[in-house]
Amino acid sequence: MTILPATFDAKLFRENSETVLAKLEKHLADQSLRGLELSDPARLIAAARALMTEEREKIADFDEEKLAAIVDLYLATGIQVHSPSYMGRQFSGVVPLAGVIDFVSSVVNQPSSFYEAGQLPNAVERIMADELNSFIGWPAGSFAMVTTSGGSLANLTALLAARNRAFPDYWSHGGAALAGGARPAIAVGADVHYSVSRAAGVMGIGEEQIVRLPLDRDYRIDPAQARSALDRAARTGLRVFCLVASAGTTSVGAFDPIGELADLAHERDCWLHVDGAHGASLLVSDELRGALRGIAEADSLTWDAHKMMFVPAPCTLLFYRNREHSLAAFRQQASYVFDEEPDIYAALDSGGKNFECTKRPMIMTLWALWAIYGRALFAEKIEYLCGLTRDAYEILEATPDFETVHRPEANILCFRHRPAGLSEEAVHRFQVAVRSRVKHQGKFFISKVDVDGVAALRVVMMNHETTTAHFRLLLTEIRKAGRELLHAGAASR
Amino acid sequence: MTILPATFDAKLFRENSETVLAKLEKHLADQSLRGLELSDPARLIAAARALMTEEREKIADFDEEKLAAIVDLYLATGIQVHSPSYMGRQFSGVVPLAGVIDFVSSVVNQPSSFYEAGQLPNAVERIMADELNSFIGWPAGSFAMVTTSGGSLANLTALLAARNRAFPDYWSHGGAALAGGARPAIAVGADVHYSVSRAAGVMGIGEEQIVRLPLDRDYRIDPAQARSALDRAARTGLRVFCLVASAGTTSVGAFDPIGELADLAHERDCWLHVDGAHGASLLVSDELRGALRGIAEADSLTWDAHKMMFVPAPCTLLFYRNREHSLAAFRQQASYVFDEEPDIYAALDSGGKNFECTKRPMIMTLWALWAIYGRALFAEKIEYLCGLTRDAYEILEATPDFETVHRPEANILCFRHRPAGLSEEAVHRFQVAVRSRVKHQGKFFISKVDVDGVAALRVVMMNHETTTAHFRLLLTEIRKAGRELLHAGAASR
């Protein structure tokens, strides 16, 4: 062997870490207003290639400058999530301590689907399940929580459990065996995340068996209209086995009325899954918890800690009201009755409950923050962000050249810029053009979404350093972009 | 707001990192022989709870000692993957530099399913796809690679693409629509990873529609017997749309004959997926690449870089021979023909090709190692580990009280301890008891697997600091455990 052992040297590791650490410290300390520097992919690929060793035969000597250049390029080309002008998406600038804990996870590499392989991660999953359930309210020992790699996967896992509960033979016999009877179907709000309808395609239910429930004026599922829609679905031969509500839709952050939908689901012998990927974190705030009223009646809940719990992605929690259902996703519903009694170690294994065989010990970041700083860290930050969003809404309401499209329930706010002289037909394309221009100017990062078929600008408040002053600056930037577009005649193109 | 901004302070981040870094350096420098300290979960939960703040109302002040205690507990209770006596599982002690790069990913939190959100990760995915394809051999531009969170998910993704290609209506109409025709089925080696048969349950194919192909004496799929098995399946009304081969089975690390199976799959108009989660890494070695002869004929390949490329988990690569098939997993096969022309940025998005909406930029660790050290880092380490495993096999062959159960093709070796006086019927339980005793003694970490229905001891060589001297020490430890068990009469229980 040549220099292979040297690449594992602990001192070199220390030096590499110090190099990177200095850069990360500077990056975190930079509170300047900056958005995204969008690079041409071909040029970025060339820049990255230029940093690669040309040595093909033996292990190249460690090159400190290469490492520094790689990290510089990585930091410079990313969305600047720790900048106060980052208001663009649902991922956040993490609490730095969470990054530090995740560093430990990266080095010690303990996969956590099995207790033996990651003891502490599996132990603290139990602790966090109990801590967070204190805001849901299920009896101790009756419920279950499992971590998984992202909200899309959690939604799919819950839907599998619902499918297998309603159709116990589906796991072994497959969908073809059901032919002739009612077709399995899933009911969702018209604004549900794409991962849910995708799950229907994945699971063999078929995307056409998605029943879309109408929304009310606040973009929430309307229970009365939902009842009629379910009746219609039944008449066309669909058996809706699961109803999916959103606690914080992606587009406007609307919260479906969980309690009323739970009644409806119960009445129809239907599983209620709540996709709270974005909004479940409001549960930790006494002030905001009401948005999820009725959550204890849901059968399952997706909760992304990498959104409003401010830890590195992915860190998704999937809760089941009924502990036994957590075993239903990956087997025939009946079979777990015959399980042998697991030993005290295997009882904490999650491999039978989540997709991953090798799973990152993602809970460690959330638990460490919770252990050291306590619940208030999350509650305070979330309350600030939701308050800021309400303030931004009020500012827009008082500003004639902007229109709001909804009253914000959390930290997501959609609106449109409508300067004088903008024709009605041009509104859609104008918002798209404004967003694109603001993005390319690189000072603010915001997003865009269609609401009622017309484009709107969208901010997601994720940084507690962002203030109403920053929001007013953003409006100035938007106005400037709008003026330039109007002058250039772009709005009428 | 109270001390919330202080929790994001860059200086505090630096201090926290230094605390952790000193511990990690010491941890990596420790080359002592140590296995796993298995803790009672209830006691570990209590120990973790004792480290948590009791402050409920406001954000607790940062407590350096708590952080130190948390990291100490984390390090002490994990599998000691960097110890030379760790020979137990398929996850590895990572190259420390990969941990450092992953630290950056944890702090900057750039999700990588969309180019806009993680430019460099998406750019270097293209680079790594080309670099690694140079060992597979597909024409430039004709194939695709996507990263995803673990081998199980990659297998499922590939099987979805195969299903949607064979049954273009499955995505929209679901499985029930196929009733009456041939039932979709998947053929697998009898020793395939559990994620593959699980995928049949997930996808609505049904676990009963798994056709198990017989293995030869070397635990590889036997092409002649496979042909007969497929004929029998067809006669019972099954339409096998996908054949799954393993490049490194979990139990013994056997490599199925990919070239011959590709011929068989081609003849039957069937997709060939290769689960190379463990063994695909052998491709980077000129000496070992032959184990995957024929890989260019496969339709898809799962490759876990978090196994034998020594980066933090998860980092899984999923390759498709036909670039267009990478779009088939999550939609009707035909629909992508009608896609609008994507812009230069969207062309690098992977959200339509992988399960994750928010995806960790997992490629960064692999690329950084490849960029700085080059291919030889991986090739040398893998060659050493496979050579060590062959040496261990030779040692066992020359040792009368041990029996080998297969000739190792990679770095996995299964064997049995058969001391004089051990009855034939007791062999199975004796291996289980020996493994358990060795594990509890805490000096070596090895695993256990059933081969031909009888338990065997299993080592997976993952650490280049492990030598034949360590393996001989392990045999001594096993013999000692065996003697104690025989004296205690455990073998006859």
DSSP one-letter string for B444-488: -B-EEEEETTEEEEEEE---TT--HHHHHHHHHHHHHHHHHHHHH
CB contact under 8 A, A357 and B13: no
Q: Which two tokens stand for residue B267?
A: 């003849």
Q: What are phi and psi of B320, to 5 degrees?
A: -125, 135
* Alpha-carbon distances of A141 from A57, A120, A138, A277, A367, rounded to whole Å: 57, 20, 8, 24, 20
Best of B37, B105, B108 to disrupt the A interface (most A CBs within 10 Å) is: B108
Q: Is the pLDDT of residue B230 over 80?
A: yes
Over residues B471-490, the mean pLDDT reads: 93
The secondary structure of B268-332 as a DSSP string is TT-EEEEE-TTTGGGGG-TTTGGGGTTGGG-SEEEEEHHHHT--PSP-EEEEESSGGGGGSTTS-
Q: How much of chain B exceeds pLDDT 70, in percent? A: 97
Strand partners, A368: none
Over residues A406-432, the mean pLDDT reads: 96
Nearest residue in A to B70, CA atom: A368
Query: What is the distance between the alpha carbons of residues B463 and B83, in angstroms, rounded to a whole number?
Result: 8
Q: Is the pLDDT of residue A335 over 70?
A: no
The secondary structure of A217-249 as a DSSP string is TTSSB-HHHHHHHHHHHHHTTEEEEEEEEEBS-
Which residue has better confidence, B348 or B18?
B18
Closest CA to A303 of A272, A282, A329, A328: A282
ipTM, 2 dp: 0.96
Interface of A with B in 362-391 (CB under 8 A): 364-365, 367-368, 370-377, 380-381, 384
Cis? peptide before A168, omega within 30° of 0: no
**pLDDT tens digit sequence for B378-409:** 999 999 999 999 999 999 999 999 999 999 99
Say how many CA atoms lie within 13 Å of A70 toward its Cβ. 31
What SS3 state is found at A108?
helix
**pLDDT tens digit sequence for A149-179:** 999 999 999 999 999 999 999 999 998 777 7
Q: What are phi and psi of B213, to 5 degrees?
A: -95, 135
Over residues B109-131, the mean pLDDT reads: 95
Q: What is the pLDDT of residue B43?
A: 97
Q: Chain B within 8 Å of A338 (Cβ-Cβ)? A: no
Q: Name the minimum distance, in Å, from the CA of B135 to any CA of chain A.
A: 13
CB contact under 8 A, B384 and A1: yes
Identify the helix (H) or strand (E) that includes residue B238.
strand B238-246
Q: What is the pLDDT of residue B36?
A: 87
Closest CA to B155 of A357, A318, A198, A329: A357
The secondary structure of B7-34 as a DSSP string is HT-HHHHHHHHHHHHHHHHHHHH-----
Report DSSP state, residue A255: B
CB pairs under 8 A between A and B: 512
Can you give the length of chain B in residues? 493
Q: What are phi and psi of A406, to 5 degrees?
A: -165, 160
Q: Chain A within 8 Å of B117 (Cβ-Cβ)? A: yes
Q: What is the pLDDT of residue B1?
A: 59
Predicted TM-score (pTM) of the model is 0.97
Query: What is the distance between the alpha carbons of residues A455 and A476, in angstroms, rounded to a whole number?
Result: 20
| Averaged pLDDT score across all residues of chain A | 94
- Considering only CB atoms, which chain A residues are within 8 Å of B367? 48
Query: What is the distance between the alpha carbons of residues A167 and B136, in angstroms, rounded to a whole number?
Result: 42
**pLDDT tens digit sequence for A344-394:** 888 899 999 999 999 999 999 999 999 999 999 999 999 999 999 999 999
Domains along chain A with CATH numbers: 8-26+36-77 (no CATH), 107-372 (3.40.640.10), 376-492 (3.90.1150.170)
Q: Is the pLDDT of residue A341 over 60?
A: no
Q: What is the CB neighbour count within 10 angstroms for residue B276?
A: 30
CA B238 to mean position of chain CA atoms: 30
Q: What is the pLDDT of residue A2?
A: 83
* Alpha-carbon distances of A419 from A107, A205, A444, A475, rounded to whole Å: 53, 47, 20, 12
Query: In A413-435, which positions are buried (b, 16+ CB within 10 angstroms) versus exposed (e)?
Result: bbbbbbbeebeeebbebbbebbb
Q: Name the minimum distance, in Å, from the CA of A392 to any CA of chain B.
A: 18
CB contact under 8 A, A25 and B11: yes
Q: Is the pLDDT of residue B339 over 60?
A: no
Q: Chain A within 8 Å of B59 (Cβ-Cβ)? A: yes
Q: pLDDT-derived band of residue A1, with 50, 70 and 90 as boundaries? A: low
CB contact under 8 A, B27 and A108: yes
CB contact under 8 A, A8 and B93: yes
Q: What is the pLDDT of residue B409?
A: 98
Q: Is the pLDDT of residue A316 over 70?
A: yes
Residue A237's Cβ-count burial label (10 Å; 0-12, 13-18, 19+) is: exposed
- Considering only CB atoms, which chain A residues are within 8 Å of B115? 41
Among the partner residues A53, A55, A313, nearest to B109 by beta-carbon distance: A313
CB contact under 8 A, B111 and A91: yes
Q: Where are the alpha helices (DSSP H) in B348-422?
A: 363-372, 375-397
Interface of B with A in 197-216 (CB under 8 A): 198, 200-209
Q: Chain A within 8 Å of B34 (Cβ-Cβ)? A: no
Best of A92, A131, A357 to disrupt the B interface (most B CBs within 10 Å) is: A357
Closest CA to A316 of A378, A371, A362, A251: A362
C-alpha distance across the termini of chain B, in Å: 66
**pLDDT tens digit sequence for A83-119:** 999 998 998 899 999 999 999 999 999 999 999 999 9
Q: Chain A within 8 Å of B468 (Cβ-Cβ)? A: no
Q: Name the minimum distance, in Å, from the CA of A464 to any CA of chain B.
A: 8
CB contact under 8 A, B356 and A152: yes
Residue type, A342: P
CB contact under 8 A, B52 and A345: no
CB contact under 8 A, A195 and B357: yes
Q: Is the pLDDT of residue B337 over 80?
A: no
Can you give the length of chain A in residues? 493
Over residues B170-179, the mean pLDDT reads: 86
Q: What is the pLDDT of residue B331?
A: 85
Q: Chain B within 8 Å of A440 (Cβ-Cβ)? A: no
- Asked if residues B449 and B456 have their Cβ atoms less than 8 Å apart, the reply is yes
Q: What is the pLDDT of residue B11?
A: 98
- Asked if residues A33 and B410 have their Cβ atoms less than 8 Å apart, the reply is no
Q: pLDDT-derived band of residue B342, with 50, 70 and 90 as boundaries? A: low
Nearest residue in B to A45, CA atom: B123
Q: Name the minimum distance, in Å, from the CA of B492 to any CA of chain A.
A: 23
Q: Where are the alpha helices (DSSP H) in A93-180?
A: 96-108, 119-133, 151-166, 170-173
CB contact under 8 A, A380 and B1: yes
Q: Is the pLDDT of residue B246 over 70?
A: yes
Residue with tokens 């009310």: A216
Over residues B369-380, the mean pLDDT reads: 98
Query: In A314-325, which positions are buried (b, 16+ CB within 10 angstroms) versus exposed (e)?
Result: bbbbbbbbeeeb
Q: Is the pLDDT of residue B160 over 50?
A: yes
Query: What is the distance between the alpha carbons of residues A40 and A37, in angstroms, rounded to a whole number?
Result: 10
Give the list of residues 6+ apart from residue B438 with CB closer than 8 angstroms, or none: B35, B444, B446, B474, B477, B478, B481
Classify strands A412-417 and A454-460 as parallel, antiparallel or unpaired. antiparallel
Q: What is the pLDDT of residue B37?
A: 86
Query: What is the distance between the alpha carbons of residues A65 and A361, in angstroms, rounded to a whole number?
Result: 32
Which residue has better confidence, A339 or A9?
A9
- Asked if residues B20 and B12 have their Cβ atoms less than 8 Å apart, the reply is no
Query: What is the distance between the alpha carbons of residues B317 and B303, in angstroms, rounded to a whole number?
Result: 5
Cis? peptide before A314, omega within 30° of 0: yes
Q: Name the minimum distance, in Å, from the CA of A421 to any CA of chain B.
A: 30
CB contact under 8 A, A102 and B99: no
- Considering only CB atoms, which chain B residues are within 8 Å of A42? 344
Report DSSP state, residue B116: T
- Left, alpha or beta for B248 (phi > 0: left; psi -120 to 50: alpha)? left
- Considering only CB atoms, which chain B residues are within 8 Å of A127? 45, 48-49, 52
Give the list of residues 6+ apart from residue A393 with CB closer than 8 angstroms, or none: A404, A407, A408, A413
Q: Is the pLDDT of residue A33 over 60?
A: yes
